[in-house]
């Protein structure tokens, strides 16, 4: 059993939306295929992966370093103990040889993208849904019913409060009961007006989370906290720079309700620093580390260990990114849920065809691998790459 090729293509996921920090007019993502010599149900086993929105495609790093390290390794050194499958941990170690620690940069995105494809291949070789494999691996019971929330509420040219309300109404109509909007890309007064418009629209049918995308300095963060704490928000997200743990810690004094962060922390060491120094509260705050940006599931398992040692439940994790990989981790390892972007970043984000959001939850279908084969627009782009 061996990996015979790893193929990457960088694809546009551009849209005219804007958060407090970036616009997505030139956004791209890497799509990766890990091609094996295995055949199941008359078809070659190919694992697929892609990186989440927010960081760009990683074709350079994948082609120049990580692909070749896997293909040049002795194939037997990449297999599990009894040789019955690939071993994601050994493949990860092969990718990361001759990489210094620290300064994780964006290699974590390149490795995370390949790692997703490796896990997809492993679960397809085993002919099992990944979430069921993960639960068995950890001696847990899988729960195919996963909480999901609708992320949107972006700034958009010409978008007024009416359009924002209509967007949120659309998410409620589709079965969501938590919605998210952007803040920090307008004045505080304008954001307050936008928030009140949304709260008026959703009433008691849903809760609202707000996301500042790391925009605020301490003074602005506090000013917003004082404004926001009068509303019953689901969370106040990524308030300051992702690596400014002292700012995050200071916020607890001004914002007693739940806060969320972590989508721009790319390693278990960064996650551990957030827990050590960021003043995050395990009884109410949320952690959003996204395996597709942060060295993949092999590393995410280390992050979960770090959290466990610090007394944090995996239920406090609701990953960023809106992809099916995190849905599998949530269903298999007991995370608190997953993000989704109902209308954005297609065809990569979202759920297999026919999966409905009911009372803010989806139910995982029993598909081998991550489940990409169940999403027809996505699998056709994937197969164009490697089959
Ligand atoms: O706008 C973005 O970069 C995405 C984001 O923060 C989120 O989904 O939480
Ligand atoms: Mg965010």
Smallest Cα–Cα separation from 119: which of 109, 106, 128, 110?
128
Numbers of helices and strands, H then E, in the chain: 13, 11
Q: Is 323 annotated as a binding residue?
A: no
Q: Is residue 380's pLDDT more than 90?
A: yes
What's the average model confidence in pLDDT over 22-36?
A: 97
* The pair of three-digit structure tokens given for residue 88, joined into one six-digit string: 């994601």
**What is the pLDDT, as a whole number, of residue 105?**
85
Smallest Cα–Cα separation from 64: which of 6, 119, 105, 117?
6
Pocket mutation for ligand 1, best pick of 216, 263, 343, 348 (most atoms within 8 Å of C-beta): 263
Q: Which fold has domain 3-127?
A: Enolase-like; domain 1 (3.30.390)
**What is the pLDDT, as a whole number, of residue 137?**
98
Smallest Cα–Cα separation from 115: which of 92, 143, 140, 147?
92
Return mean pLDDT, the chain: 97
On whether the 136-386 domain is CATH 3.30.413.10, my answer is no
On the question of a common fold for 3-127 and 136-386, the answer reads: no
Distance, CA of 9 to CA of 63 (rounded, Å): 10
* Residue 340 · residue 151 · CB < 8 Å: yes
Query: Which runs of E-coded beta strand occur in 283-345?
Result: 286-287, 338-340
Distance, CA of 150 to CA of 168 (rounded, Å): 9
pLDDT digits (tens, 9 = 90+) for 153-210: 999 999 999 999 999 999 999 999 999 999 999 999 999 999 999 999 999 999 999 9
What's the average model confidence in pLDDT over 5-27?
A: 96
Q: Is 315 annotated as a binding residue?
A: no
Ligand 1: distance of its center to the CA of 151 in Å? 8
Q: Give φ, ψ of 237 to 5 degrees.
A: -105, 145
Phi-psi region of 33 (alpha: psi -120 to 50; beta: other; left: phi over 0): beta
- What burial class does residue 278 get, using C-beta atoms within 10 Å of its C-beta: 0-12 exposed, 13-18 middle, 19+ buried? buried
pLDDT digits (tens, 9 = 90+) for 205-242: 999 999 999 999 999 999 999 999 999 999 999 999 99
Ligand 2: distance of its center to the CA of 368 in Å? 30
Q: Quick one: which H or E segment has residue 236?
A: strand 235-237
Among all residues, which ones are annotated catalytic? 182, 320
* The pair of three-digit structure tokens given for residue 230, joined into one six-digit string: 């009068």
* Residue 72 · residue 5 · CB < 8 Å: no
Distance, CA of 362 to CA of 87 (rounded, Å): 29
Question: What is the Rg, in whole angstroms, of the alpha carbon atoms belonging to the chain?
Answer: 20
Q: Which atom of ligand 1 is nearest to the CA of 237?
A: 9
Chain-centroid distance of CA 196 in Å reads: 28
Q: Is residue 104's pLDDT more than 90?
A: no
Q: Is 81 annotated as a binding residue?
A: no
Which band of pLDDT confidence, cut at 50, 70 and 90, is reported for residue 368? Answer: very high
- What does the domain layout of the chain look like in residue ranges? 3-127, 136-386
**What is the pLDDT, as a whole number, of residue 345?**
94
What's the average model confidence in pLDDT over 280-286?
A: 98
What's the average model confidence in pLDDT over 15-30?
A: 96
Q: Is residue 49's pLDDT more than 90?
A: yes
pLDDT digits (tens, 9 = 90+) for 58-71: 999 999 999 999 99
Which band of pLDDT confidence, cut at 50, 70 and 90, is reported for residue 133? Answer: very high
* The pair of three-digit structure tokens given for residue 120, joined into one six-digit string: 């997809």
Smallest Cα–Cα separation from 175: which of 383, 299, 357?
357
CA 173 vs CA 53, 160, 178, 323: distances in Å: 25, 20, 12, 21
Which band of pLDDT confidence, cut at 50, 70 and 90, is reported for residue 103? Answer: confident
Ligand 2: distance of its center to the CA of 211 in Å? 6
- Nearest residue (CA) to ligand 1, atom 4: 54
pLDDT digits (tens, 9 = 90+) for 268-278: 999 999 999 99
Q: What percent of the chain has pLDDT over 70?
A: 100
- What burial class does residue 8 get, using C-beta atoms within 10 Å of its C-beta: 0-12 exposed, 13-18 middle, 19+ buried? buried
Distance, CA of 152 to CA of 179 (rounded, Å): 7
């Amino acid at each position: 059993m061996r990996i015979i090729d790893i193929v990457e293509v960088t694809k546009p996921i551009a849209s005219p939306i804007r958060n407090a920090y970036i616009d997505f007019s030139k956004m791209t993502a890497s799509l990766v295929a890990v091609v094996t010599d295995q055949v199941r149900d008359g078809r070659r086993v190919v694992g697929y992966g892609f990186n989440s929105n927010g960081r760009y495609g990683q074709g350079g790093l994948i082609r120049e370093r990580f692909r070749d390290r896997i293909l040049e390794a002795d194939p037997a050194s990449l297999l599990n103990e009894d040789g019955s499958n690939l071993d994601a941990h050994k493949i990860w170690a092969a990718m990361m040889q001759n990489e210094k620690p620290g300064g994780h940069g964006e290699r974590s995105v390149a490795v995370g993208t390949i790692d997703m494809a490796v896990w997809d291949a492993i679960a397809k070789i085993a002919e099992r849904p990944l979430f069921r494999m993960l639960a068995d691996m950890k001696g847990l019971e899988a729960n195919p019913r996963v909480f999901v929330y609708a992320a949107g509420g972006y700034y958009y040219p010409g978008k007024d409060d009416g359009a924002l309300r209509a967007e949120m109404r659309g998410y409620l109509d589709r079965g969501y009961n938590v919605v998210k909007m952007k803040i920090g890309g307008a004045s505080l007064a304008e954001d307050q007006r936008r928030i009140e418009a949304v709260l008026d629209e959703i009433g008691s049918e849903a809760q609202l989370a707000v996301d500042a995308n790391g925009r605020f300095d301490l003074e602005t963060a506090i000013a917003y906290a004082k404004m926001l704490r009068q509303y019953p928000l689901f969370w106040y997200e990524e308030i300051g720079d992702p690596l400014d743990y002292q700012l995050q810690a200071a916020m607890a004094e001004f914002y007693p309700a739940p806060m969320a962060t972590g989508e721009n922390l790319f390693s278990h060491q960064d996650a551990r620093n957030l827990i050590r120094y960021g003043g995050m509260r395990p009884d109410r705050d949320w952690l959003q580390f996204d395996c597709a940006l942060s060295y993949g599931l092999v590393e995410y398992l280390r992050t979960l260990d770090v959290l466990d040692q610090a007394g944090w439940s995996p239920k406090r994790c609701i990953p960023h990114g809106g992809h099916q990989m995190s849905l599998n981790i949530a269903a298999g390892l007991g995370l608190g849920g997953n993000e989704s972007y109902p209308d954005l970043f297609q065809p990569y984000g979202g759920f297999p065809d026919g999966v409905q959001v009911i009372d803010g939850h989806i139910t995982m279908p029993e598909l081998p691998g991550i489940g990409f084969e169940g999403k027809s627009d996505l699998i056709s782009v994937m197969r164009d790459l490697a089959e």
